[in-house]
Amino acid sequence: MSHYQRIACLSTEAVETLYALGAEQYIAGISGFTTRPSRARQEKIKISGFSSSRIERILAVKPDLVIGFSDMQAEICRDLVKAGIEVHLFNQRSVAGILHMIAVLAAMVDKHEQGKQLIQELDACILRARKRSASWTRKPKVYFEEWDEPMMSGIGWVSELIGIAGGEDAFADLAQHHSARERIIADGAVVIQRAPDIIIGSWCGKKFRSETVCARAGWEQIPAVRNGHVAEIKSADILSPGPCAITEGLPQIQALIADWHLKTEQMK
């Protein structure tokens, strides 16, 4: 039995993982931005946003553990600790970090075997993607746009998933930075210079406008724009550092790369 009986989850991937482990009975409250599983939004009390939370709403569900994510939640986690609440703040920014988060969370709720099984399933997803991409002789350059105003390139695990799927992250040099501020692309001319073959938009919950992207000054010369390889992946599928980034985001990236290969061959 889990030592923790009332867990407050301040980010969606913790909720997704606990449900996947069969430990949803221990969840006392969730973030209002929770997307997976969909039934969690009906079954659990919403106690917070992501970067904005009121401590009294969290304390109202009487948690014996609060699970947070990233430096953006550091302040509320500090206040909870001062209030005497046990807090675990995850900060995974890589595929390995996602798998480690699952293992740690599984141990915290005494679901070791379920955690191992879930990790094995995710490893299998990664292996399938690697095997498929190994058959391709070229790696298209992919620009992943996480936000538009200002333009922001993809975070670490997204960059890794692009590589696993058979692509090359056009801004892999920025993906290593934890801070979103350090991944800002101040000048659209830099994207033009890097000439991505594929552009993927995922604007943190805001609707992606491919026509707006394609209409940016000078972007008509970018191969992705010129050849019609501009697409969206919903942020709920790729920007949450939990299982869905691998089960949902990775296959979608690879499908876009496969489409690029197909159309490139047809153009010959």
DSSP secondary structure string for all residues of 202-213:
-BTTBPP-HHHH
Mean pLDDT rounded to a whole number for the chain: 95
Q: Where are the alpha helices (DSSP H) in 21-111?
A: 40-43, 55-59, 74-82, 95-108
3-state SS class at 231: strand
Residues 113 and 21: their CA atoms lie apart, in Å, by: 9
| Beta-sheet pairing, 198-201 with 141-148 | parallel
Cα 121 to Cα 170: distance, rounded to the nearest angstrom: 29
Q: Which ranges of 60-146 does DSSP label H, i.e. alpha helix?
A: 74-82, 95-108, 112-134
The pLDDT tens digits for 163-215 are: 999 999 999 999 999 888 999 999 999 999 999 999 999 998 789 999 999 99
Per-domain boundaries in the chain: 7-110, 120-266
- Secondary structure (3-state) at 158: helix
Contact 142, 262 (CB under 8 A): no
Q: List the single range of 142-146, 175-179, 181-185, 235-239 with lowest mean pLDDT.
A: 175-179
Tell me what pLDDT residue 179 has. 85
Mapped onto helix, strand or coil, the DSSP state of residue 143 is strand
Q: What is the pLDDT of residues 166-179, one digit of tens each?
A: 999 999 999 999 88
* CATH code, 120-266: 3.40.50.1980
Answer yes or no: pTM beyond 0.85: yes
Which pLDDT does position 205 carry in this prediction? 79
Q: Please give the distance of CA 23 from its chain centroid, rounded to a whole number.
A: 22
Q: How many residues does the chain have?
A: 268
Residue-wise pLDDT tens digits, 99-118: 999 999 999 999 999 999 99
Domain 7-110 indexed as CATH 2.40.10.10: no
- C-alpha distance across the termini of the chain, in Å: 61
Q: What span, in angstroms and rounded, lies between the C-alpha atoms of 110 and 5?
A: 11
Domains 7-110 and 120-266 fall in the same CATH topology: yes
- The Cα–Cα gap between 167 and 140 comes to 5
pLDDT at 53 over 80: no
Q: Phi and psi dihedrals of 242, rounded to 5?
A: -135, -165
CA distance 17 to 6: 15
Residue type, 137: T
